[in-house]
């Protein structure tokens, strides 16, 4: 029987949201720090990154317990990046998903440290996971650093900052989003495949799938900032235009951006067809990314 | 022939200072980010933490190449913590070792990201090190998270912040320093012992040695803030008193602090006598920590 993506999203979101606080609760650390870490972890969101890890294990018919710790780790990394991005010296945001941002509740210094704490802890989840092999855990950590560090998300954030209020070329815009967004989404897919002991040829194909899915994700984000419904997205639309940000629609026109989105989704689906397994869940994931309204 | 500590410090500092920039140079990342990461790594310091890793390998007569990557990793962690500590929302320091702090040169946002980048990259150094066994690399990463994260340095920093301008008990002061300072110094010793494949009984004893050495290090720091020479330390003396910080001398009197320092050093040396190896270098390290003038 083929699982419907929506059932998968709902059930796995529950698993992740149950597992994450347990890692924080058992830490021997000052209460305020743990509260600040929990606050942002609990702030919700689609949990797309951890669910993707589990989706890969499901696709390769492996027990999902091989991926729970890594799934929580990638959500911790995503959460730390949001806390640091929201800081007054960065994007200076007061609200995140309709709730006050971390530094608004706990102060700036604690928000810096809560982010540092989540980033550091995420590596512990992976290396202390009792289920995967040692070799696979080392490989997953190595992939995580590439996706989240200077060669990935942190580098993308720097490029994004440096590109603010500049007219970027499509190539520059692509660099920012590939690094700032696509690589961490890609990590979820690659780490899930590694933990599922997928064939090496599949893993390399999945890197391409992840790239197209990640860029499609960002193009959809840019489109929603213009055409989206504020109540559904949970943040004001039109902020990119106000901030004079270069976006896919601003370079390609809205029509061009939608075509590019469809191109990336088509590429992603073609790659899935060439895998050694049937990947119905990952095909549905393409449609979700292309059509999401938040 | 027994090596003199001073020769060891000078020669190994050179090795570390040559190796660290190479890890940053080869990163595929925005130039400003790499510059900001390099700037603080190059800002000098005693390099005590990385040298301790190598000192353990030397003590156990193992090739020091087993520890170069981990040594650089711990110095990156130490450096990231200084960058974040110096931020306006934290200690708001303009100078570090006589040079402008990272955010003074690169701006606050870049300083946050340079710290995040160094923290993330440090894990890559360890897991991609070709020399140690997989099991030892996983063990070293796990020790690093415990020492540097919420259960160690980050937790200690939070406790330090929350204790500012309060009258702390000796127990509270001890908690702060054990976590903020001693655990990362301890990591250097423990990771060096793990990588040297020291007997497990020795590793547990070295944990105690590291604890005493770390606390002694901090007591000496507090003493230097009162009795030290500004030109030698590279920062103003008396800042703890000005900031109404609780210190070992403020709780125990100067005489009491010096006695406590000597007690910890004596304990550390007694532990060394019970190891399975001759540890001349580590004995000399005790005297260095007890008598250092900066």
Helix (H) or strand (E) holding A267: helix A248-273
Q: DSSP readout, B186-247?
A: HHHHHHHHHHTT--HHHHHHHHHHHHHHHHHHHHHHHHHHHHS-HHHHSS-TTHHHHTT---
Task: Name the minimum distance, in Å, from the CA of A134 to any CA of chain B.
Answer: 6
Over residues A40-68, mean pLDDT:
96
**pLDDT of res. B234:** 66
Residue A229 has pLDDT above 90, yes or no: no
Q: Are A270 and A208 in contact (CB under 8 A)?
A: no
Q: Scanning the structure block, which residue is given the tokens 């260095």?
A: B288
Q: How far apart are CA A163 and CA A167, in angstroms?
A: 8
| Alpha helices in chain B, H assignment, sequence order | 5-25, 31-41, 48-59, 68-86, 102-106, 108-127, 134-148, 153-163, 170-177, 183-195, 200-227, 230-233, 239-242, 248-273, 280-291
For A30, the closest of B89, B120, B159 (CB atoms) is: B159
Q: Does B79 touch chain A (CB under 8 A)?
A: no
**pLDDT of res. A97:** 87
Q: Which residues pair with A94 in a beta bridge?
A: none
pLDDT by residue for chain B (294 residues), tens digit each? 567 999 999 999 999 999 999 999 999 999 999 999 999 999 988 999 999 999 999 999 999 999 999 999 999 999 999 999 999 999 999 999 889 999 999 999 999 999 999 999 999 999 999 999 999 999 999 999 999 999 999 999 999 999 987 889 999 999 999 999 999 999 999 999 999 999 999 999 999 999 999 999 999 999 999 988 777 766 677 778 777 889 999 999 999 999 999 999 999 999 999 999 999 999 999 999 999 887
**Which of A127, A152, A164 is the mutation pick for testing B, counting most B CBs within 10 A?**
A127
Share of chain A residues as helix, strand and coil, in percent rounded to the nearest 5 = 75, 0, 25
Q: How far apart are CA B216 and CA B203, in angstroms?
A: 20
C-alpha torsion sign, points A167, A169, A172, A178:
positive
Note the pLDDT tens digit of each residue in A134-190: 999 999 999 999 999 999 999 999 999 999 878 899 999 999 999 999 999 999 999
> What is the crossing angle of helices B183-195 and B153-163, to 10°?
170
Q: How far apart are CA A75 and CA A54, in angstroms?
A: 12
C-alpha torsion sign, points A201, A203, A207, A208:
positive
Quick one: DSSP state of residue A169?
A: -
For A121, the closest of B124, B150, B157 (CB atoms) is: B150
Q: Does B159 touch chain A (CB under 8 A)?
A: yes
Q: How far apart are CA B194 and CA A34, in angstroms?
A: 30
**pLDDT of res. A234:** 66
Q: How far apart are CA B82 and CA B102, in angstroms?
A: 9
Helix (H, G, I), strand (E, B) or coil at A99: strand
Note the pLDDT tens digit of each residue in A261-290: 999 999 999 999 999 999 999 999 999 999
Report chain A residues whose CB lies below 8 A from the CB of B168.
none
Q: Are A233 and A294 in contact (CB under 8 A)?
A: yes
> How many other C-beta atoms lie within 10 A of the C-beta of residue B27?
18
Instruction: List Cβ neighbours of B95 (8 Å cut-off, separation of 6 or more).
Output: B101, B235
**pLDDT of res. B123:** 98
Report chain B residues whose CB lies below 8 A from the CB of A88.
89
Q: How far apart are CA A2 and CA A272, in angstroms?
A: 16
Q: Does A180 touch chain B (CB under 8 A)?
A: no
Note the pLDDT tens digit of each residue in A115-138: 999 999 999 999 999 999 999 999
Helix (H) or strand (E) holding B95: strand B95-96
Q: Are B286 and B265 in contact (CB under 8 A)?
A: yes
Averaged confidence pLDDT in chain A: 94
On the 0-12 / 13-18 / 19+ scale of CB atoms within 10 A, B289 is buried
Q: Scanning the structure block, which residue is given the tokens 């003590």?
A: B59
Instruction: List Cβ neighbours of A171 (8 Å cut-off, separation of 6 or more).
Output: none
Check CB contact under 8 Å for A113 and B87.
Answer: no
Tokens of B164: 């500012």
**pLDDT of res. A242:** 79
Residue A243 has pLDDT above 80, yes or no: no
Helix (H, G, I), strand (E, B) or coil at A95: strand
Q: Does A154 touch chain B (CB under 8 A)?
A: yes
Residue A45 has pLDDT above 70, yes or no: yes
For B123, the closest of A141, A159, A161 (CB atoms) is: A141
Q: Does A113 touch chain B (CB under 8 A)?
A: yes
Tokens of B61: 């007569």
Tokens of A175: 């660099």
Instruction: List Cβ neighbours of A17 (8 Å cut-off, separation of 6 or more).
Output: A42, A47
- Long-range residue pairs from B93-96, CB within 8 A, at least 24 positions apart, any chain: B95/B235, B96/B40, B96/B43
Half-sphere exposure of B117 (CA within 13 A, CB side): 33
B152, B219, B158: which is closest to B188 by C-alpha? B152
Closest chain A CA to residue B176: A30
Q: Does B166 touch chain A (CB under 8 A)?
A: no
Q: How far apart are CA B118 and CA B96, in angstroms?
A: 17
Helix (H) or strand (E) holding B100: strand B99-100
Over residues A11-15, mean pLDDT:
97
Q: Scanning the structure block, which residue is given the tokens 């509260």?
A: A35
Over residues A82-100, mean pLDDT:
94
For B151, the closest of A29, A88, A145 (CB atoms) is: A29
**pLDDT of res. A93:** 93
Give residue A256's pLDDT band: very low, low, confident or very high (50, 70, 90): very high
Check CB contact under 8 Å for B33 and A148.
Answer: no
Report chain A residues whose CB lies below 8 A from the CB of B117.
149-150, 154-155
Q: How far apart are CA B291 and CA B279, in angstroms?
A: 19
Q: Does B29 touch chain A (CB under 8 A)?
A: yes
Q: What are phi and psi of A248, to 5 degrees?
A: -60, -50
Can you list the domains of chain A with their CATH numbers?
Answer: 5-291 (1.10.600.10)
Q: Does B113 touch chain A (CB under 8 A)?
A: yes
Report chain B residues whose CB lies below 8 A from the CB of A116.
80, 84, 115-116, 119, 149, 154
Check CB contact under 8 Å for B150 and A124.
Answer: no
Instruction: List Cβ neighbours of B182 (8 Å cut-off, separation of 6 or more).
Output: B210, B211, B213, B214, B215, B217, B218
């Amino acid at each position: 029987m083929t699982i419907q993506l929506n059932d998968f999203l709902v059930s796995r979101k529950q698993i992740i949201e149950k597992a994450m606080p347990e890692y924080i609760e058992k830490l021997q650390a000052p209460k305020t720090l743990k509260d600040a870490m929990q606050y942002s972890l609990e702030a919700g969101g689609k949990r797309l990154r951890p669910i993707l890890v589990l989706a890969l294990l499901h696709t390769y018919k492996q027990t999902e317990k091989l991926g729970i710790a890594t799934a929580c780790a990638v959500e911790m990394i995503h959460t730390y990046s949001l806390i640091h991005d929201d800081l007054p010296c960065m994007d200076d945001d007061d609200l995140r998903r309709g709730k006050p941002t971390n530094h608004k509740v706990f102060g700036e210094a604690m928000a810096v440290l809560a982010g540092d704490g989540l980033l550091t802890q995420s590596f512990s989840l992976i290396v202390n996971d009792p289920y995967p092999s040692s070799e696979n855990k080392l490989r997953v950590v190595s992939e995580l650093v590439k996706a989240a560090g200077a060669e990935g998300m942190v580098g993308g954030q720097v490029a994004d900052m440096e590109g603010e209020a500049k007219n970027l070329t499509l190539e520059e815009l692509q660099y920012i989003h590939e690094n700032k967004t696509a690589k961490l989404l890609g990590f979820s897919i690659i780490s899930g495949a590694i933990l599922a002991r997928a064939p090496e040829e599949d893993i390399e194909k999945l890197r391409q799938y992840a790239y197209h899915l990640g860029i499609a994700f960002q193009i959809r984000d840019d489109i929603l900032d213009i055409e989206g419904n504020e109540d559904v997205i949970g943040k004001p639309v039109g902020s990119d235009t106000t901030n004079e940000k270069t976006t896919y629609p601003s370079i390609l026109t809205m029509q061009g951006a939608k075509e590019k989105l469809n191109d990336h989704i088509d590429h992603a689906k073609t790659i899935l067809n060439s895998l050694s397994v049937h990947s119905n869940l990952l095909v549905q994931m393409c449609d979700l990314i292309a059509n999401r309204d938040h």
